[in-house]
Amino acid sequence: MAKSDLYKAAGVDIDLATSLLSKVKADLAATRRPEMLSPIGGFGGLFQIDLSKYDEPVMVSSIDGVGTKLMIAAAMEKYDTVGYDIVNHCINDISVQGAEPVYFLDYIGIGKLRSPLYEQVLSGIAGACKAAGCAVLGGETAEMPGMYGNDFDLVGVITGIVEKKKLITGEKIRPGHVALGIASNGLHTNGYSLARKILFGENKYTVNTCVESLGETVGEALLKPHICYYSAIKAAMNSNLPLDGIAHITGGGLYDNVPRILPDDVSVIFRPGTLPVPPIFKLLTSEGNVGKEEAYRVFNMGVGMVWFVPRDAQESALEIIRNAGFTADIIGEVVSGRKDVQVI
């Protein structure tokens, strides 16, 4: 085999990447679905859709990153949870349209490949995909000395599939529908630039600072992995619940994400106080003097996802969500309006 001593001296170790990948191959293989036609490692991943299961199949794809939450992982030297973050964020983004996640690809851009960062990230990705029944179809690791320094970036691409007549678009949302909030466990993957400024810049905390109101360190609170809500959506669709709209509450909060699915002639009035607000948000808003409107735009403030259902279906919907293991409650109502949101 050809040696790569000059490339290694320039900062890229091809052999190390191969060695580290071998440590997680079993985890990645555990995500395999029958539709996969080739093992990971080919130039392109092959995935054969069984079209006999659908009348009008629609493919749904999304791409996203973890953002500056990666800096918290680096400070704590704990990287498995960001693997869960990228997968769960991507799954939520396509499942709000009713799509089943079928395969996922990852991209890691890094200044210098190192262990155990690489194995932990990929193991987290594999664990999250396996939990959702989603195949890891492939990925790319780009070692780029001089580009990233000691930092790295993590990006995920996901593809799902849904029967066209079962697409959840929000077009059926009407005045009188109720908004059901599903609880988050923290920041998920958004708002970290402001959180870092408040906690580490203005208040001089470190990731190891124990804060009594949190009941844990700052780093532990910030690193809680993004929750995947797909199991509840899948159960709702299997039960034929009239689930007329879903919003994943990411960057932009309630104010910017909910209008993305609203018809032009309706608005939503939110009273989110029925859901618990994780202590990290109370710390951020008090220590950072963050006003209510900005807080609900930058952060999810304890609401990870919003479902819209007719009023006569609210109890059935809440039962489905809670049976899937999530905390949920009624947090708002749909009224006539102009495709906007009010948080009371």
199 & 95 share domain: no
pLDDT on residue 91: 98
Residue 171 belongs to a domain: no
Give the C-alpha separation, 169 to 244, whole Å.
7
137 & 212 share domain: no
Helices 230-238 & 314-323 angle (0-180, nearest 10): 130
**Which pTM was predicted?**
0.95
Q: Pick from 166, 192, 214: which residue ends a domain?
A: 166
Digits of tens for pLDDT over the chain (344 positions)?
Answer: 556 688 888 888 888 888 888 899 999 999 999 999 987 778 899 999 999 999 999 999 999 999 999 999 999 999 999 999 999 999 999 999 999 999 999 999 999 999 999 999 999 999 999 999 999 999 999 999 989 988 999 999 999 999 999 999 999 999 999 999 999 999 999 999 999 999 999 999 999 999 999 999 999 999 999 999 999 999 999 999 999 999 999 999 999 999 999 999 999 999 999 999 999 999 999 999 999 999 999 999 999 999 999 999 999 999 999 999 999 999 999 999 999 999 99
Query: Pick from 112, 124, 134, 114: which is nearest to 33 by CA?
Result: 134
pLDDT on residue 131: 98
Alpha-carbon Rg for the chain, nearest whole angstrom, is: 21
220 & 192 share domain: yes
183 & 158 share domain: no
Residue 197 belongs to a domain: yes
159 & 282 share domain: no
Full residue range of the structural domain in which residue 155 is found? 5-166
pLDDT on residue 5: 80
Pairing of strands 178-183, 135-143: unpaired
Amino acid present at 123: S
Q: Pick from 166, 194, 221: which residue ends a domain?
A: 166
Looking at residue 218, which CATH number applies to its domain? Answer: 3.90.650.10
Q: What is the 3-state secondary structure (H, E, C) of the chain?
A: CCCCHHHHHCCCCHHHHHHHHHCCHHHHHCCCCCCECCCCCCCCCCECCCHHHCCCEEEEEEEEECCCHHHHHHHHCCCHHHHHHHHHHHHHHHHCCCCEEEEEEEEEEECCCCCCHHHHHHHHHHHHHHHHCCEEEEEEEEECCCCCCCCEEEEEEEEEEEEHHHCCCCCCCCCCCEEEEEECCCCCCCCHHHHHHHHHHHCCCCCCCEECCCCEEHHHHHCCCCCCCHHHHHHHHHCCCCCCEEEECCCCHHHHHHHHHCCCCEEEEECHHHCCCCHHHHHHHHHCCCCHHHHHHHCCCCEEEEEEECHHHHHHHHHHHHHCCCCEEEEEEEEECCCCEEEC
249 & 280 share domain: yes
pLDDT on residue 38: 81
Q: Pick from 110, 140, 166: which residue ends a domain?
A: 166
189 & 291 share domain: yes
Torsion, CA 183, CA 189, CA 192, CA 195, rounded to 10: 10
213 & 284 share domain: yes
Decide if 264 contacts 114 (C-beta within 8 A): no
Give the C-alpha separation, 58 to 49, whole Å.
11
pLDDT on residue 1: 52
Residue 173 belongs to a domain: no
pLDDT on residue 78: 97
Residue 31 belongs to a domain: yes
Residue 172 belongs to a domain: no
Decide if 163 contacts 58 (C-beta within 8 A): yes
Structural domain count of the chain: 2
104 & 182 share domain: no
28 & 118 share domain: yes
Residues in the chain: 344
204 & 267 share domain: yes
182 & 157 share domain: no
